[in-house]
Structure 1
Amino acid sequence: MAIYFYTSGSDYGCFSNFSSHGFELDGEYWPTAEHYFQAQKFPATADCDQIRQAKMPKDAAKMGRDRSRPLRKDWEEVKDDIMGKAVLRKFETHAEIREILLATGDEEIVENSPSDYYWGCGKDGSGKNMLGQILMKVREVLRKRTSE
C-alpha cells in the first residue's frame, strides 16, 4: 500500500516541501525545503536571498517560478540533485520527522499533487513522482546510517 501526501497540514504533511522544518545548508538558514529549492534556481544572486527571506513557502514558490528572474542555465540538469540535498538535510535536522519517514518501512511514497506531473503523481497518477522517489532514497540513506 502506498503512502500519499500533499499538503503540509495532512497526514505525512512533514514530507511536503512546504512543511515548516527549517535547516542550515550552504552556510544559510532555510525556513523550508521549498525556500531552498526555489532559491537554488538563482545561486549567489539577490533573487536567491529574496527567496530565502520569503515569509511563506508559497511565496518562495511563486518567486522561484517567476520567469522574469534569470534562471540558471543548468537548472534542468541539477534540479533533482538540489531537491535531494534539501530533503536529506531536512530529515537529518529533525529527529521527529526522520522517525516518521523511517517508520514507513518499504512503502511507496507518493506526492499526490493533482497538478504536478514531475514532482508528483498528477491528477491521473501517471506523473513521475520525483519527490516521492527522492523521499524513498533519503529513507534508504537514513536507514543505512541508523544500522551502522
Structure 2
Amino acid sequence: MELHGLDTEHEVFFYEQEFYVLSNFSAFSLMWQGHRFPTSEHAYHWEKFSPGQTDGKVDVRAEILNARSAHDAFKMGRQWGSLRRPDWDEVKVEVMRGILRAKADQHEYVRRKLLATGDRTLIENSWRDDFWGWGPNRDGQNMLGRLWMALRTELRAQASPQDT
C-alpha cells in the first residue's frame, strides 16, 4: 500500500496528494443540471442560488458557472452568501451527494481512485472547514469524506450484485 502525506493504513486524506481527485477543486468537469461545470466546486456553489438570482448587476449562477477556477467559484459563493436560497442548509448535503455521484459516474478514473481507497476512512484534510472536512481541531463532521465513503459502498454493490 502506497501512503502519501498524512495517509495511513486506515485513513486517506484527500485534500491533496494521491487522492486529490476526490477534492471538489480537482479538475474534473461534469454535466450537472444541463450545464457543463469545470469542477464539482463550481456546481456546488452554483446550486446555492435560485435561478435568475442577481446581485443587482449580474446573474450570480452565470458568474459562478463561468468562474475561472474552483477557487474563484468558492469566493463567489461566499461573496454572495446573503443571496443564498433559503433552504440551502437543509438541502446542501443531498446536493453534494448528487454532484459527487455525477462526478464518479462521468469519470472512470474518479471511480477507480475512489475504489482504490479500499476500506480506509476518507477524510477531507481541510484545516478550515469543520463541516465538509475535519477542520482546525481535527474533530469536524467530515461530511465530504462521509459522502465519498457512502458512494464507494454503492459502487461496490453495483460492481458485485448480491444474490437475492
Aligned residue number for residue 52 of structure 1: 65
Report the TM-score, using the length of structure 2 for normalisation.
Answer: 0.85
Aligned to 2:113: 100
Is 1:16 aligned with 2:29? no
Counterpart amino acid of residue 89 in structure 1: A
Paired with 1:68 and 1:23, the residues of 2 have a C-alpha distance of 24
Percent identical: 37
TM-fit CA distance, 1:111:
0.4
Q: Structure 1 runs of 4+ off > 4 angstroms?
A: none
CA distance in 2, matches of 1:68, 1:126: 25
Match of 1:3, SS?
Answer: strand
For 2:147 and 2:11, the matched residues in 1 are separated by 15
Give the corresponding residue for 2:56.
none
Give the SS at the match of 1:12: helix
Q: Which runs of 5+ in 1 are unaligned?
A: none
Greater gyration radius: 2
> Residue type of the partner of 1:130?
M
Q: What is the rounded CA distance, in whole Å, between the counterparts of 2:156 and 2:62 in structure 1?
A: 33
Q: Is the 8 A contact 2:50 2:84 kept in 1?
A: no
The equivalent residue for 1:27 is 34
Counterpart CA distance in 2 for 1:146 and 1:138 is: 12
Q: Kindly indicate whether residue 82 of structure 2 is the aligned counterpart of residue 89 of structure 1.
A: no
| Alpha-carbon displacement from aligned partner over 1:30-68 (angstroms, at most 9, x marks no partner) | 110100000101131221121011010000000011146
Contact kept, 8 Å, 1:47 with 1:69, in 2: the verdict is no
Count of aligned pairs: 146
CA RMSD of aligned residues (A): 1.2
